[in-house]
A and B are shown apart, each in its own frame.
Chain A
Amino acid sequence: MALTAYAIIRLRNLFAVVILSGIFSLLAALLYVLLTAVDVAFTEASVGAGISTLLMLATLSITSEYEKKPAHSAVLPILIVVVTGAALIYGTLDMPLYGAADAPANLHLIPRFIEQSGTEIGIPNIVTSILASYRGYDTLGETVVIFTAAIGVLVLLGRGHNRWRPGMRKSVTPEDREEEV
């Protein structure tokens, strides 16, 4: 995954970058299977690797496929990234060890979910029980977010591409653009 991320940073062909990000998502899904999060792996593979990549490819087909060479030097971003990363690694030193059963996140409420959800909800998959029942309002909120995003996309794209609108440059018509290219 780190290699894929590095390739995404270096490559300037956006088509390759988008396909690599799909591969990145699939590798993440594989990792989730290894970490026994099978439901998350399903979702990541179908939604993260599938739909995201598809949306990006659709965007690329409308816009350009190549990235310009960056005009600024990369020193300042690298410095910021290294400093932030070092601070975060320092922060992990207090974190519970990998796989620890007594980590704080695993103690509160979770044993109750595991013991009771089978009799209370009647579904063997605990993740489904929590998603649909115990934390049903979260899922409601999620649907609201998706609905809002869908409305946003429709408002942004729904009225036809080439009509002039307030805020749009009158001088830049599609023909001008093609001449520039």
Chain B
Amino acid sequence: MMDLSVEIPGLFNYWIVIILMMAGFYIVISHGNLVKKIVGLNVFQVSVFTLYISMSKIDGGAAPILDETIKSYSNPLPHVLILTAIVVGVATTALGLALIVRIRDAYGTIEEDDIIELERTDT
């Protein structure tokens, strides 16, 4: 674990986060299937969590659990924020999926293009 953190060059963690973030962003804007869009949002979300958690890491810092023998801890505040964010993220995912089920009830499809087409022929 220590070796790993030494090998990683300075800004590499942010670049990984950005690659993952853009993957999620691409899924959201380029795919018409609503379930896939939710998966894309989740990927995006996890990349943001990773951004925060990687910022909280301090070289040689241990997990933030108090112990007499440990001198340096990771920053605990981002951990708290992300704990909250994960749970809120699941709540929003559940809401989005419920909306998808209702859309499927109303239109018979969960493809964005089909729904737009149905709306157009309707009016």
Are B86 and A48 closer than 8 Å at their CB atoms? yes
Which B residues are in CB contact (< 8 Å) with A117?
A: 66
Are B94 and A153 closer than 8 Å at their CB atoms? yes
Contact A92 to B46, CB < 8 A, known contacts A64-B110, A126-B65 = no
Which A residues are in CB contact (< 8 Å) with B87?
A: 43, 47, 142, 146
Q: Taking the nearest CB of chain B, how far is it from the CB of A135, in angstroms?
A: 6
Are B83 and A25 closer than 8 Å at their CB atoms? no
* 15 additional A-B residue pairs with CB within 8 Å, beyond A14-B35, A38-B63, A125-B65: A6-B23, A24-B43, A24-B46, A52-B89, A56-B39, A67-B111, A68-B33, A82-B22, A85-B18, A88-B22, A92-B11, A114-B73, A153-B95, A157-B101, A169-B118
Q: Which residue of A lies closest to B55 (CB)?
A: A105
Instruction: Pick the residue among A1, A63, A96 that contacts B35 (CB under 8 A).
Output: A63
Q: Which residue of A lies closest to B63 (CB)?
A: A36
**Majority-rule SS of A interface residues:** helix
Which B residues are in CB contact (< 8 Å) with A52?
A: 42, 89-90, 93
Are B57 and A98 closer than 8 Å at their CB atoms? yes
Q: Taking the nearest CB of chain B, how far is it from the CB of A79, in angstroms?
A: 11
Contact A2 to B102, CB < 8 A, known contacts A17-B39, A56-B38 = no
Q: Which residue of B lies closest to A67 (CB)?
A: B33
**Majority-rule SS of B interface residues:** helix
A168 to B90 CA separation, bound complex (whole angstroms)? 27
Contact A114 to B111, CB < 8 A, known contacts A35-B74, A77-B30 = no
A166 to B55 CA separation, bound complex (whole angstroms)? 49
Are B63 and A172 closer than 8 Å at their CB atoms? no
A43 to B95 CA separation, bound complex (whole angstroms)? 19
Which B residues are in CB contact (< 8 Å) with A84?
A: 22, 25
Interface string of B37-79 (1 = CB under 8 A from A): 0111011001001100111111101111111000011111111
Q: Taking the nearest CB of chain A, how far is it from the CB of B48, in angstroms?
A: 11
What are 24 A-B interface contacts by the 8 Å CB criterion? A2-B16, A8-B40, A28-B46, A31-B50, A31-B53, A34-B1, A52-B42, A56-B97, A59-B97, A62-B101, A63-B35, A63-B101, A74-B30, A81-B25, A85-B18, A85-B22, A124-B65, A125-B65, A135-B80, A139-B84, A153-B95, A157-B98, A168-B105, A169-B108
